[in-house]
A and B are shown apart, each in its own frame.
Chain A
Amino acid sequence: QSVLTQPPSVSGTPGQRVTISCSGSGSNIGSNFVYWYQQFPGTAPKLLIYRNNQRPSGVPDRFSGSKSGTSASLAISGLRSEDEADYYCAAWDDSLKVFGTGTKVTVL
């Protein structure tokens, strides 16, 4: 059961900047690192951001992560059509790993 809350959907036009929020609590986001994953239909998720704001090699710098208190955000700047996908945040909550509810990004 998800305990991290994300907006169901966000949309933007090409070139725009969009942000996805991830709201948690002191026991998860407030105490641990946040991770972000990108998933295209029918494929496995891919790590996008680790340890709040670190990008794995190969992830464009258009993607950035931040965390403040019990919330985190993923920003996509210079939105492109290939960014249309589902995005999930995740964090540890004591001995449980919790995922966000997921956000579908639509490029108009």
Chain B
Amino acid sequence: QVQLVESGGGLVKPGGSLRLSCTASGFIFSDYYMSWIRQAPGQGLEWVAYISNSASTIYYADSVKGRFTISRDNAKNSLYLQMNSLRADDTAVYYCAREGSLDYWGQGTLVTVSS
């Protein structure tokens, strides 16, 4: 069965960095585009970034452009989100999801940016 498992969340100070990982199983990871989506506490869903299966196409939300970097390692069935210059408003649960339709989501990992 398809599984997506995020890790790497935690508490970080404003201006700090964090790297999230998403490990995929149950499908041919290298065939699928992937996205990161986040949800601030008590708020709605916000798409963050998207990467094609070969990493040749990458898109970012304006709110994270220049600070976040999405990447993938198909050999390791893994998706990453490098987050730099973190701000308080980046505090959220971060989900990875399989593209096409966002038909499968991970359980999410909480990132808290606070001093």
Q: Which residues does A use to contact B, with CB under 8 Å?
A: 1-2, 35, 37, 39, 43-47, 50-51, 56, 88, 90, 95-102
A-contacting residues of B (Cβ < 8 Å)? 35, 37, 44-47, 50, 59, 61-63, 95, 101-108
CB-CB nearest in chain A for B47: A97
Known: A1-B63, A95-B59, A96-B61. Is A47-B103 also a contact (CB below 8 A)?
yes
Interface SS of chain A: strand
Which A residues are in CB contact (< 8 Å) with B62? 1, 96
Neighbouring B residues of A98 by C-beta, 8 Å: 47
A101 to B57, CA, bound (A): 27
Contact assessment for A47 and B47 in the assembled complex, using a CB-CB cutoff below 8 Å:
no
Known: A45-B105, A47-B102, A56-B103. A37 touches B61 (CB 8 A): no
Q: Do B101 and A46 touch (CB < 8 A)?
A: no
Complex Cα gap A64–B74 (Å)? 35
User: Which of B35, B62, B101, B108 neighbours the largest number of chain A CB atoms within 10 Å of its CB?
Assistant: B101
Instruction: Say yes or no: B47 contacts A99, CB within 8 Å.
Output: yes
> For residue B50, which residues in chain A have a CB less than 8 angstroms away from its CB?
97
Which residue from chain B places its CB closest to the CB of A99 in the assembled complex?
B45
Alpha-carbon separation in the docked complex, A47 to B99 (Å): 11
Contact indicator B47/A50 (Cβ below 8 Å): no
Distance in Å from the Cβ of B107 to the closest Cβ of chain A? Answer: 6
- Across the interface, do A37 and B45 meet the contact criterion of CB distance under 8 Å? yes
- Report the nearest A residue to B45, measured CB to CB: A99
Nearest residue, chain A, Cβ from B4:
A44
Check B44 against A96 for contact (C-beta < 8 Å): no
Pick from B35, B103, B104, B106: contact of A97, CB under 8 Å: B35
Q: What's the Cα separation between A87 and B111 when bound, in Å?
A: 23
